[in-house]
């Protein structure tokens, strides 16, 4: 069990595929940093439900809409989603993420 792991940094590694939903089992995860890769698919709800402080996925091929479950995270300090292929609108509930 890896519940005590608090940071994952995979930036700039040419990773391909989707973000594994199993990462949601790492309940102590605070930082997920995977910018400048070739990740695709959507942000798994299991990741969106974690009490992350940093979620940085700039420069990938992620798609879909922003997971509304992530909007409940009041601990989020850094959220970088640019240079992806997300669709839809930025939810107004993002204003509730007051530490951004």
What is the pLDDT of the chain when averaged over all its residues?
94
The span from the first CA to the last CA of the chain, in angstroms, equals 30
pTM: 0.92
Give dist(CA 25, CA 84) in Å, integer: 25
pLDDT in tens, 12-53: 999 999 999 999 999 999 999 999 999 999 999 999 999 999
pLDDT at residue 3 is higher than 80 = no
Give whichever of 2-11, 47-56, 91-100 has the largest mean pLDDT: 47-56
Break the chain down into helix, strand, coil percent, rounded to 5.
Answer: 20, 25, 55
Q: Which residues contact 1 (CB under 8 A, 6 or more apart)?
A: none
pLDDT of residue 34: 97
Burial of residue 47 (number of CB atoms within 10 Å: 0-12, 13-18, 19+): buried
**Number of neighbours of residue 19 by Cβ within 10 angstroms:** 23
Q: Two tokens at 44?
A: 């798994």
pLDDT at residue 1 is higher than 70 = no
């Amino acid at each position: 069990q890896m519940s005590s792991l608090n940071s994952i940094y995979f930036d700039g590694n040419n990773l391909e595929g989707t973000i594994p939903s199993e990462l949601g089992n790492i309940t102590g995860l605070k930082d997920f940093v995977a910018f400048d890769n070739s990740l695709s698919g959507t942000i798994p709800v299991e990741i969106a439900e974690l009490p992350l402080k940093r979620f940085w996925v700039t420069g990938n091929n992620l798609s879909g809409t922003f997971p509304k479950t992530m909007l409940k995270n009041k601990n989020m300090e850094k959220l970088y989603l640019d240079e992806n292929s997300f669709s839809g609108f930025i939810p107004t509930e993002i204003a509730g993420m007051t530490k951004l």
